[in-house]
Amino acid sequence: MQCSVCAIGCKAYTTTLGNREEMKMTRKRLIWIGAPLAMVGITLLMALGGWIVQYLWNWLLPTLFGWRTITFWQALALLVLCRILFGGFSGGGHRGMGIGMRHRMRERMEERWAARWEKMTPEEREKFRQGMQARCGFGEEKTESQASS
């Protein structure tokens, strides 16, 4: 088979192109098969979670507190409500953002502080250091005896 770019038999280029096409087809198959399976799996996990909440509620709360029993749909709604209010399931919720987002925010903060620090005069920097030492109590200044030894 000849290469379309140089009209010579470039086996490496045509082989790589064929592998890419195979990978695309594999991804398409995976999407067509995997997406419905994922949806069925999520539905089953939600049903299992609702059943567990209903079972625990109906086992404990009516005997302990005299509350009414709940249906499966009420248990599922309670599970969703708890997910919205407290987070859970996938580690989201009140923990907020993922590690990548925290890392980017930290980098941005460091860049902003570096830019501010560069704009400060030496007197402003010293005043800032002294203010931080007074507020936070770190970075104790060395005495003359410590500096000479």
Rounded to an integer, what distance in angstroms lies between the CA atom of residue 33 and that of residue 41? Answer: 12
Number of C-alpha atoms within 13 angstroms, CB side, residue 141? 9
Q: How many CB atoms lie within 10 A of CB 75?
A: 21
* More reliable by pLDDT, 96 or 88: 88
Domain ranges within the chain, ordered by starting residue: 1-96, 97-138
Tokens of 45: 């996990």
The answer to whether residue 15 scores a pLDDT higher than 60 is no
Residue 128 host element (H or E): helix 122-136
Which pLDDT band, with edges at 50, 70 and 90, does 3 fall under? low
Q: What does the pLDDT read at residue 92?
A: 47
Which of the four pLDDT bands, split at 50, 70 and 90, describes residue 87?
A: confident
